[in-house]
Amino acid sequence: MKQLNYEEYLDNDIFFTRNELKSERSVIYKNTLYIKSSSFYKNYFHENTPIKDLFIKFITQKGLFQFLLSMLEDKNISYIEFNYNDEVKRIKLKDFFSFYISYSVEVRNSSILEKIAEILNYNNFDFSTNEDLVYLIDDNKYNLLLYKKENKERIDIIDRIFKYLKRKNVMERYFLDEKIVTRLEYLAEKYLKVTTEEQEKREQQYLIDDSIITALDYYKKNTYSKFEESIYYFIALSNLVIINPISIIDVNDVTLENKYVSARTFYLLFVTILNDLSIPFTEEQKEDTFEIIIDGKIKFSIGNDFEPQNISNYLTNLTDDVGIDETIYKILNEYKEAIEKEIKFDNSFIKFKNHFNKDTMNRYDKLKTFIELITRGEKIADQKYQKIIFNIFYGNNPYYKISFYKSMTPAGNYHFFTIMSIKDQYILIDSADLAKIKLVSMLELAELQKKSIDLSEKIVIEEVTSKHVQ
């Protein structure tokens, strides 16, 4: 799930990951960054007001930039928070828009301007979504509202306008045209006598275990649309967990081993995935059945009688569009075919392993073949795949070792690299530049390690199996 990837690029010396927070907090919130030191506030806030450097950091540090985009994609969020030991600092999303509109005038760097443009693209509230809002944007209608309408009708219209804007968090989320803001302030002061500033309801963020996330993404195609992803993840989740009505397992405790869940926990897992991916949905509970509807096109049903071998029974096309049925069928078949290919792939691995254990290749050809396999396309950054290949080639040889690291770039972002150790020789395989595959000295390695985070202990080879899809 790509929306979770921003954590890979955050500075883990400053920010807690969600996995780290599991042992720290019983509840966390999705629009909140939890920080490890109060010095962050000293560096980036003046009292409760964020300083310029913080906004700049959001467009220069990859993790923060991706986090901000994920918040902007969620229409229910109007602010982000920083939390240090429950000392909370809040920034409204409209303040980000306001800053970047002003800051774009003084920026000359094209890559920074592109990021600013991507952010500002979300500052696009559509006033046509509600017929009452025309009184704010049309001068004639605004004058009609003030001077021609009867007082009761005027008050009713203004009241509906503010209720709608409040429901959509418009005043906190969007940086509106000055004329609109002036009119809203005037109407609130003269006719409502209430403040338009109200705090948004905080939404709990559930923590899905890494083993589940990895397994969910295992067969997913990068070409899927958001709509297709929702179907894919429903199918994938139904193949990873098993519904047991008497289960009391919480969402945060579900793993590949601890996978017997209630229908409610399955539902919470699924909507957490949708939230993390910023896929909008509506939901309804009917007795013991949970229903999730996306785009008014498809309904997902989850209940205690859920039978994953009949998964198509729980995906309902709500339209007359046969293309949706075809999409469901296509993704289901692609998932089944991917599993079958994986089984064949695993069988091939066994054959490869037997072959290489016979030492039929000389050491040079064996190393060359190994490096070719782990540097194919996206596999250059796939640590799990590299570890599997390494175990096949060198798993029983004490003189060979493989390690994985991520290092910080001058721009404040992370990139990954692999170190292959052969006795006292070290091969650097840089995911950012394959031309940098080279031997490095022990001193060079020590310098690289000093500037990097060792990921090797985090790589766990898990067996992902499917028993449900028929």
Q: For residue range 362-421, what is the model confidence (pLDDT) as tens digits?
A: 777 778 888 877 776 666 667 777 888 888 888 778 889 999 888 766 666 667 888 989
Please state, for a pLDDT cut of 70, what percent of the chain lies above it. Answer: 85
- Domain shared by 14 and 99, yes or no: yes
- Whole-number mean pLDDT of the chain? 83
Q: Is the pLDDT of residue 325 over 70?
A: yes
Mean pLDDT of all residues in 337-357: 62
Do β-strands 242-243 and 260-261 pair in parallel, antiparallel, or remain unpaired? parallel
More confidently predicted of 351 and 300: 300
Model confidence over 139-179: pLDDT tens digits? 999 999 988 888 889 999 999 999 999 888 898 999 999 99
pLDDT value at residue 458? 54
> Distance of CA 422 to CAs 202, 386, 467, Å?
52, 16, 40
Contact 94, 173 (CB under 8 A): yes
If asked whether residues 178 and 272 sit together in one domain, one would say no
- Evaluate whether residue 369 is within a structural domain: yes
Per-residue pLDDT reduced to its tens digit, 39-86: 999 999 998 899 999 999 999 998 999 999 988 988 888 999 999 998
User: pLDDT class for 347, splitting at 50, 70, 90?
Assistant: low
pLDDT of residue 390: 87
Residue 168: inside a domain, yes or no? yes
Query: Is residue 463 included in any domain, yes or no?
Result: no
Neighbours of 352 (CB within 10 A): 15
Q: Specify whether 79 is located in the same domain as 158.
A: no
CA angle 320, 326, 332 (to 5 degrees): 130
- Is position 373 within any domain? yes
In a domain, 413, yes or no: yes
Q: Is the CB of residue 250 less than 8 Å from the CB of residue 265?
A: yes
Regarding whether 429 and 382 lie in a shared domain, the answer is yes
Q: Are residues 240 and 305 in the same domain?
A: yes
Same domain, 212 and 300: yes
pLDDT of 200 reads: 52
Q: What is the pLDDT of residue 2?
A: 45
Q: Note whether 239 and 211 are same-domain residues.
A: yes
In terms of domains, do 238 and 323 share one? yes
For tokens 């692999």, name the residue.
Answer: 418
Share of the chain above pLDDT 90, in %: 35
* Residues 272, 328 within the same domain: yes
Residues 136 and 171 in one domain: yes
Distance (Å, rounded) from C-alpha 351 to C-alpha 354?
5
pLDDT score of 361: 57
Residues of the domain holding 96: 2-120
Distance from C-alpha of 277 to C-alpha of 323, rounded to nearest angstrom: 23
pLDDT of 191 above 70: yes
**395 in any annotated domain:** yes
Same domain, 9 and 116: yes
Asked whether residue 162 is assigned to any structural domain, the reply reads yes
The domain tally of the chain equals 4
Is residue 246, in this structure, part of any structural domain at all? yes
